[in-house]
Amino acid sequence: MAPTHTALPNGLGTSFLIVGAGTIGLSTALHLTKRGYKDITLLDRGDSIPSAYSAGNDENKIVRADYEDPFYATKALEAIDAWSHDPIFIPHYKQCGYLVTSSGAAPDKAKSHVDRLIRSISSHPAQPKGCLTTLATPTEIRKHSPRLTGPLSGWSGYINSHAGYARAAPAMKGLYTELVARGVKFHFGTAGDAIAILPDAETAKLYPAPRPYVKTADGNVQCADVIILATGAHTARLLPQAGAQLTAKAWAVGHVRLSATEAKTLLHIPVVNCRDLGFFFAPVPVREDEPNGDWLIKLCAHGGGYTNRSMTSGGGTSLPPTQSEENDAIPVEDEALIRQLLRETLPEFARRPLERKFICWCADTADSEYVIDNVPSYAGLVLASGDSAHAFKMLPVFGQWVADMIESGSQGEVRWRWKTQDSDGTEDINWRVGNVRDIKDVERRSDETEKLVSKL
Ligand SMILES: Cc1cc2nc3c(=O)[nH]c(=O)nc-3n(C[C@H](O)[C@H](O)[C@H](O)COP(=O)(O)OP(=O)(O)OC[C@H]3O[C@@H](n4cnc5c(N)ncnc54)[C@H](O)[C@@H]3O)c2cc1C
């Protein structure tokens, strides 16, 4: 398909440099190729796709259109359609259903969130008829998902059959292969590690809308007619003025190892999300080519999220640590939540060691709205971020919103505009339970974790 434009609004040409080849960067490249653009380059500081620094670098992610806000429900339904029908994404999606609950001990906030989700799904005209079944008691949940043999103490909620999970890292690898085949260029490691956007913000203010370029760690500079920053939680390190609206926040992930025989009994469970504890998935093989080898269940703990202000920026903007190894330990209290989740659902695994533990970083906004807009003071610099921990499911569709904004020259969707109101990252998010804390204030020592497990 020929490009629909040889020039973009604002007199911009049609070469694109995307900084960050994570969820949003890859999706943006896909949609630019779909629109016929030929000159597209991605930079990533990781060594390969998925990058060790990407929030998408994970076994699996929930794909669901269960949003309180019908706007995002509609967008996620479009994404589910693409996961189900687009040959690039089909191999990586499993529509196994999504069980959403709160426990008997849950705060009212978690319970009322589940109630609002039920109302939102029932009233959304594009949700398939009959996809929602309310499960008001532990007995009803067990009847629906008999493999959940734990007590499910006071659990109630619903199951949505029009949802499931994506194999995250394989989906990103598959998309990368597709993009290479479409002629998209990639630079990794030091050649892909953007260390500065030039001119910097202060200099940019002195000249009307200067053209930006990107300096990389190997000493080169990269430029293009349009530069798209899709650097997720790391964005404010490159573009400090984005730190007023993007707060890096992390949540804890861990895995339990199963034999193939154990895994087989769990292959058909839905994604289980208890809003006050955490969520987990059916097991996946450690190696795709060894289905008789070990398998892993991925689990995440819920909470308000952790910032990292002190270690990186002297109490200022929250940013992820610069090295991914610093993420390889989880708070003891999150390990406790994950074990509680297992005790309630799959008690036979509650004492098994958690492995592949890490904290995973997102770019949170005050209202959980994405940001897809031109960066003020620059010509041809676009920010595509603010994922707020709910963007992986949008992998097949996110890039079309970025391409729409670039082609129209401005962001018509008010909620996705560059945010002028500062966020301190501690705002109450209606769909999360728990307070925001700094990672330095929580215990992550493994001996403390062992003490916890020995008490179980
Ligand atoms: C624990 C957890 C669970 C989640 N579960 C789900 C879920 O179930 N479903 C769902 O839809 N979403 C989920 N999410 C959210 C989802 O992972 C994110 O919304 C999404 O991955 C964000 O995409 P992104 O492209 O903005 O950032 P990323 O995917 O993090 O990509 C940013 C990229 O930029 C690169 N980069 C950074 N700095 C530089 C630089 N200076 N130069 C070059 N490259 C750079 C990084 O290497 C990375 O590849 C979850 C998030 C967390 C933390």
Left if phi > 0, otherwise alpha if psi is -120 to 50, otherwise beta: which for 334? alpha
Q: For position 448, what pLDDT does the model report? A: 75
Ligand 1 pocket check for 76: Cβ under 6 Å: no
Burial readout 422-455 (b: 16 or more C-beta within 10 A, e: otherwise): ebebeeebebbbbebbebeebebeeeebeeebee
Does the beta carbon of 392 sit less than 6 angstroms from any atom of ligand 1?
Answer: yes
Q: H/E element holding 216?
A: strand 213-216
Query: Ligand 1 within 6 A of 357 CB?
Result: no
Mutate to test the pocket of ligand 1, among 41, 234, 429 (most ligand atoms within 8 A of CB): 234
Task: Evaluate: CB of 172 within 6 angstroms of ligand 1.
Answer: no
The answer, yes or no, to whether residue 4 has pLDDT greater than 60, is: no
Could you give the C-alpha distances from 76 to 85, 205, 231, 395, 453, in angstroms and in order? 14, 38, 22, 10, 38
Site of tokens 């398909």? 1
338: pLDDT confidence band, cut at 50, 70 and 90?
A: very high
Query: Which ligand 1 atom is the nearest neighbour of the CA of 362?
Result: 53
Query: Whose C-alpha lies nearest to ligand 1, atom 30?
Result: 54
Q: What is the pLDDT of residue 28?
A: 98
204-260 pLDDT, tens digit each: 888 888 889 999 999 999 999 999 999 999 999 999 999 999 999 999 999 999 999
Please check whether residue 62 is in contact with residue 393, taking contact to mean a CB–CB distance below 8 angstroms: yes
Strand 306-307 to strand 437-438: parallel, antiparallel, or no bridges (unpaired)?
A: parallel
Q: In degrees rounded to 5, what are phi and psi of residue 39?
A: -105, 85
Pocket test for ligand 1, best of 24, 281, 318, 398 (most atoms within 8 A of CB): 24
Of all residues in the chain, what percent carry a pLDDT higher than 90? 86
Q: Reduce the DSSP state of residue 34 to 3 states and report it.
A: helix
CB 80 near ligand 1, within 6 Å: no
Residues 171-194, mean pLDDT to the nearest whole number: 98
Atom in ligand 1 nearest the alpha carbon of residue 43:
43
- What ligand 1 atom has the least distance to the C-alpha of 192? 43
Ligand 1 centroid – CA 25 distance (Å):
10
What are the chain's domains?
Answer: 1-64+165-246+366-425 (3.50.50.60), 248-258+282-364+426-456 (3.30.9.10)
- Closest ligand 1 atom to Cα of 193: 42
Closest to 194 (Cα-Cα) out of 222, 169, 168, 172: 222
The pLDDT score that the predictor gives to residue 2 is 47
Rounded to the nearest angstrom, the distance between the alpha carbon of 361 and the centre of ligand 1 is: 7
If pLDDT is split at 50, 70 and 90, which confidence band does 78 have?
very high
Instruction: Lay out the sheet containing 213-216: strands in order across.
Output: 194-198, 213-216, 221-222
- Percentage above 70 pLDDT, the chain: 97
Q: Hey, whose CA ends up nearest to atom 23 of ligand 1?
A: 23
Predicted confidence (pLDDT) at residue 455 exceeds the cutoff of 80:
no
pLDDT higher than threshold 80 for residue 454: no
The response to whether residue 27 sits with its C-beta less than 6 Å from ligand 1 reads: no
Answer yes or no: is the C-beta of 278 below 6 A from any ligand 1 atom: no
- In this predicted structure, the answer to whether residue 5 has a pLDDT above a threshold of 80 is no
Q: Which residue type does 333 have?
A: E
Reading the block at residue 119, the tokens are: 């109302």
Strand, helix or coil at 134? strand
Q: Ligand 1 centroid vs 391 CA: distance in angstroms?
A: 8
Nearest-CA residue for atom 6 of ligand 1? 61
CA of 133 to the centre of ligand 1 (A): 32
Which distant-in-sequence residues (6+ apart) come within 8 Å of 200 by Cβ?
none
Compute the radius of gyration of the chain from its Cα atoms: 22
Between the CA of 435 and the centroid of ligand 1 the distance, in Å, is 22
Predicted confidence at residue 367, as pLDDT, reads 94
Check if 383 has its Cβ closer than 6 Å to any atom of ligand 1: no
CA 28 to chain CA mean position, Å: 15
Which atom of ligand 1 has the smallest separation from the CA of 54?
30
Q: 186 CB under 6 A from ligand 1?
A: no
Q: How far is the CA of 363 from the centre of ligand 1 (A)?
A: 8
Answer yes or no: is pLDDT of 3 > 60: no
Give the position, in ligand 1's atom list, of the atom nearest the Cα of 52: 47
* Ligand 1 geometric centre to CA of 362 (Å): 6
Q: Is the Cβ atom of 164 under 6 angstroms away from ligand 1?
A: no
d(CA 217, CA 232): 19
| Cα gap 44→25, rounded to integer Å | 9
Asked if residue 399 has its Cβ within 6 Å of ligand 1, the reply is no
Residue of 17, 18, 23 with the most ligand 1 atoms within 8 Å of its CB, for mutation: 23
The number of angstroms, rounded, from the C-alpha of 271 to the middle of its chain's C-alpha atoms is 16
Of 232, 252, 244, which is closest to residue 45 (Cα–Cα)? 232
CA 386–ligand 1 middle distance (angstroms): 10
Cα angle for residues 275, 277, 282 (degrees, 5° grid): 85
pLDDT exceeds 50 at position 423: yes
Nearest Cα residue to 424 out of 243, 239, 251, 240: 243
| Sign, CA torsion 308/232/417/125 | negative
In the predicted model, what is the mean pLDDT of residues 349-373? 96
The C-alpha atoms of residue 167 and residue 179 are separated, in whole angstroms, by 18
Q: How confident is the model at residue 76 (pLDDT cuts 50, 70, 90)?
A: very high
Structure confidence at residue 451 as a pLDDT band (50, 70, 90): confident
